[in-house]
Amino acid sequence: MGRILTFEIFRYNPLDPRSMPHMQTFSLEEQRSMTLFVALNQIREHQDATLQFDFCCRAGICGSCGMVINGRPGLACHTQTSDLPERITLHPLPVFKLLGDLSVDTGTWFRNVGKKIESWLHTNKTFDPTAQEERMDNELATQIFELDRCIECGCCVAACGTALMRKDFIGATSINRMARFYIDPRDQRTPKDFYDLIGDDNGVFGCMGLLACDDICPKQIPLQDQLGIMRRMVSIESVRGWLPEGIRKRLGGGCGCGRHK
Amino acid sequence: MTDRNVPDARRNRLDFWQAASGAVLALFVCVHLLLEGTVVLSASLTNAIAWLLEATFVAQISAPIIVLLVVFHFYIAARKMPFRANELGIFVKHSRTLREPDTCLWLVQVFTAIIILLGVFFHVYTVMIDLPISVSRSAERMTSGWLPFYVIFLPCVVLHTGIGIYRLAVKYGYCTRATRQVWRKRIWIVMTCYLVLGFLAMTRVWFHG
């Protein structure tokens, strides 16, 4: 017989005026290789059909099942109950709009921030659907792919102390997104363009280097390195015309991005 | 490119000035504590260094500049601090539940920053109105009730400087994910060395009195 797990789950339905935020306790027998995703489905199926939480792929790809597990954001489908103590507390991800219980709307947040940082490839070239795709160095393609692995689960945003305090902060996921375009040779934006987009306290300068985003990311995307690369580039751009060019270029060198536009 | 609100250049240079002023202050603290630490070797050596710095007016000129730089650094960095009650509450609760060392260290930086801002005025004022600087005069101050102040002030300065250097390296990409553990370990070793040196110097000055 497996352990008896006790789940304390945040319950609140913002659409129901009678609903009050509270914690509800459920008990469940642990099974082999049980994930939180399986446990939550069993609770919903056998104990309380009104329990709200999101899931889709069950494999850490869709980013729907992000929640705060014993105080730390993570994916329910990625989390084995055997890695947790018998008492498990679940909260919805903060920062995002609460839909109900453990379900939040990350989509609207990501759409808004995506528009703000212009999260798409900028080029003046006209797309020719009949032409062969431009060739790219394999190493560079791998680098871009590495940053493109973000599933927009929102865990890095929920783990960020700055994002919790300042609602306009764009978060590590957005800075990573900009870093992805920065190294893409098809994107014709200059450091000045990136500076205009993320060079303020809601952007890359708002990051306080707390690094919980890097530690929490379920996809292990190297967020810390991207924050460093982008901040240095944008910061040096911010003092263009103020600092002698020689010093500016020296400060900007060796940031490890592999490409300086 | 689409039309967009171009950020205010002056305001956005603040991040650069915060980093630059922090780096200069960190360098100053390291040199200052090393020079102070020479008292462990010999009180005469410390007195000779103090005499040299005063004779060349380095001490008299740098003291007010450092105070101004501390105020400038605090003023710029304060825009990140959780001054509103709900911000501080949110951050403290978050750091407790998240259990992430870097998130907790930021709180240490915030609290030590406030102590340093207040302490630096007292420290510089009491030293500069009682020139020349010497081990005997430092001992007099220690034995006349200033010891508790320095017992609190020294760790605050060392912690704030050490964590500040680490965070500066993180923010500007010198400390990467691959080297983070090494950076952390080295910063803690250096901070411990400076703390030991500082307390040894204090002990030496105390018994000199």
SS (H, E, C) A110-160: HHHHHHHCCCCCCCCCCCCCCCCCCCCCHHHHHHHHHHHCCCCCCHHHHCC
Task: Give phi and psi for A184, each to the nearest 5.
Answer: -85, 115
Mean pLDDT computed over A226-234: 91
Judged against a pLDDT cut of 80, whether residue A72 lies above it is answered with: yes
Residues of B with CB under 8 A from a CB of A: 1-2, 4, 6-9, 11-16, 19, 79-80, 82, 87, 90-91, 94-100, 102-103, 106, 167, 170-177, 180
Mean pLDDT computed over B27-42: 91
Q: Establish if A181 touches chain B: CB-CB under 8 angstroms.
A: no
Tell me the longest C-alpha to C-alpha distance in chain B: 70
Give contacts of B102 with chain A, Cβ < 8 Å.
209-212
Mean pLDDT computed over A44-69: 94
Three-state DSSP state, B55 = helix
Give contacts of A197 with chain B, Cβ < 8 Å.
4
**With bands split at pLDDT 50, 70 and 90, how would you rate the model's confidence at A261?**
very low
Judged against a pLDDT cut of 50, whether residue A256 lies above it is answered with: no
User: Do β-strands A87-91 and A4-11 pair in parallel, antiparallel, or remain unpaired?
Assistant: parallel
pLDDT tens digits, B163-179:
999 999 999 989 999 99
Judged against a pLDDT cut of 60, whether residue A258 lies above it is answered with: no
Please answer whether residues A101 and A51 qualify as being in contact, where contact means their C-beta atoms are separated by less than 8 angstroms: yes
Mean pLDDT computed over A107-112: 96
Q: Which residue of A has its CA nearest to B96?
A: A71
Q: Whole-model pTM? A: 0.88
Percent of chain A with pLDDT over 70: 96
Look over chain B and give the mean of its residue pLDDT values, rounded to a whole number: 88
CA distances B148 to A182, B200, B201, Å, are 52, 15, 15
Do A228 and B171 make contact, defined as CB atoms within 8 angstroms? yes
Choice among A81-95, A162-176, B87-101 with the minimum mean pLDDT: B87-101
- pLDDT, residue A255, reads 46
A158 burial via Cβ count (<10 Å: 0-12, 13-18, 19+): buried
Out of A195, A210, A232, the one facing B102 most closely (by C-beta) is A210
Determine the Cα–Cα distance for residues A19 and A27; give it in Å rounded to an integer.
22
Do A225 and B173 make contact, defined as CB atoms within 8 angstroms? yes
- pLDDT, residue B40, reads 87
Give contacts of B82 with chain A, Cβ < 8 Å.
165
Tokens of A140: 């560079």
Q: Which residue of A has its CA nearest to B87?
A: A165
- pLDDT, residue A251, reads 72
Judged against a pLDDT cut of 90, whether residue B115 lies above it is answered with: yes
**With bands split at pLDDT 50, 70 and 90, how would you rate the model's confidence at B139?**
confident
Of A191 and A92, more confident: A92
Q: Which residue of A has its CA nearest to B166?
A: A209
- pLDDT, residue B86, reads 86
Q: Which residue of B has its CA nearest to A90?
A: B97
CB atoms within 10 A of CB B57: 9
Determine the Cα–Cα distance for residues B60 and A25; give it in Å rounded to an integer.
66
CA distance B183 to chain A (A): 14
CA distance A23 to chain B (A): 16
Determine the Cα–Cα distance for residues A3 and A196; give it in Å rounded to an integer.
54
Out of A118, A189, A224, the one facing B170 most closely (by C-beta) is A224
